[in-house]
Amino acid sequence: MSVNFNQASDSEIKQIDIVKVYAGKKCLIIDDFPQIRGSLSRTMKTFGCPHVDTAATGEEAIKLCSHKKYDIVICDYNLGAGKDGQQILEEVRFLRVLLMTSLFIMVTGESSREMVLGALECQPDDYITKPYTQASLQKRLNRSVIRHEALMPIKVHVSNGDYRSALDTCNTMIDEGSRYANDCLKLKGHLHFLLKQLKQARSVYESVLSKRPLVWAKLGMAKTQMALGNFDAAKIMCQEIIDEDERYIEAHDLLADIHLEEKNSVAAQKSVEHATRISPKAVLRHRKLADIAAINRDDDLALKSHQQAIKWGSNSCHESDQDYFNYSRKVSEMIRGDNGEEAKKLLRQAQSYMDRARKRYANKPEVSIQAGLVETQLYVASGDEKAAQSSLKKAREAYKELATPEIETGLEFARALHSLHEEDEARSVLQRIAAQNADNSELMKVIDGITGEPISESGKEAAAVLTKSGIDSYDKKVFNQAIAVFLEALNAYPKHIGLHLNLVQAICADTGANGYKQKNADLCERSMKTVGHLPPTHKQYQRFQFLCRQVAKLFPEIRY
Mean pLDDT of 379-397: 95
The model carries a pTM of 0.90
Whether residue 343 is predicted with pLDDT greater than 60 in this model: the reply is: yes
Question: CATH 1.25.40.10 residue ranges in the chain?
Answer: 161-279, 457-554
Cα–Cα distance measured from residue 313 to residue 481, given in angstroms and rounded to the nearest whole number: 40
Q: Given strand 26-30, what is the order of strands in its sheet? A: 51-55, 26-30, 72-76, 103-108, 126-129
Whether residue 112 is predicted with pLDDT greater than 80 in this model: the reply is: no
- Give residue 528's pLDDT: 93
Q: Which residues of 147-169 are buried (b: 16+ CB within 10 A; e: fewer)?
A: bbbbbebbbbbbeeeebebbbeb
The fourth-level CATH superfamily of domain 161-279 is: Tetratricopeptide repeat domain (1.25.40.10)
Angstrom CA distances, 253 to 43, 182, 209, stand at 39, 25, 21
Mean pLDDT of 364-382: 96
Strands 126-129 and 103-108 turn out to be parallel
- Give residue 127's pLDDT: 84
- Give residue 543's pLDDT: 95
- Give residue 1's pLDDT: 39
- Give residue 122's pLDDT: 64
- Which residue from 287, 393, 293 is spatially nearest to 333, judged by alpha carbons? 293
Cα–Cα distance measured from residue 32 to residue 75, given in angstroms and rounded to the nearest whole number: 10
Q: How many CB atoms lie within 10 A of CB 402?
A: 14
Are 349 and 303 spatial neighbours (Cβ–Cβ below 8 Å)?
no
Grade residue 190 by pLDDT with cuts at 50, 70 and 90.
Answer: very high
CA angle 18, 33, 115 (to 5 degrees): 80
Cα–Cα distance measured from residue 549 to residue 390, given in angstroms and rounded to the nearest whole number: 33
> pLDDT of 8-59, one tens digit each?
555 555 666 788 889 989 999 999 999 999 999 999 999 999 999 999 999 9
Alpha carbons within 13 angstroms on the beta-carbon side of residue 184 total 22
Higher pLDDT, 95 or 20: 95
Whether residue 182 is predicted with pLDDT greater than 60 in this model: the reply is: yes
The chain-wide mean pLDDT, for the chain, equals 92
Out of 2-6, 20-24, 393-397, 532-536, pick the least confident.
2-6
Cα–Cα distance measured from residue 374 to residue 366, given in angstroms and rounded to the nearest whole number: 12
Mean pLDDT of 228-251: 94
> pLDDT of 433-480, one tens digit each?
999 999 999 999 999 999 888 999 999 999 999 999 999 999 999 999
> pLDDT of 474-529, one tens digit each?
999 999 999 999 999 999 999 999 999 999 999 999 999 999 999 999 999 999 98
The fourth-level CATH superfamily of domain 457-554 is: Tetratricopeptide repeat domain (1.25.40.10)
Are 221 and 204 spatial neighbours (Cβ–Cβ below 8 Å)?
no
Are 77 and 106 spatial neighbours (Cβ–Cβ below 8 Å)?
yes
In this structure, which amino acid lies at residue 546? Answer: F
CATH of domain 15-150: 3.40.50.2300
Helix (H, G, I), strand (E, B) or coil at 104: strand
Whether residue 116 is predicted with pLDDT greater than 80 in this model: the reply is: no
Are 146 and 183 spatial neighbours (Cβ–Cβ below 8 Å)?
no
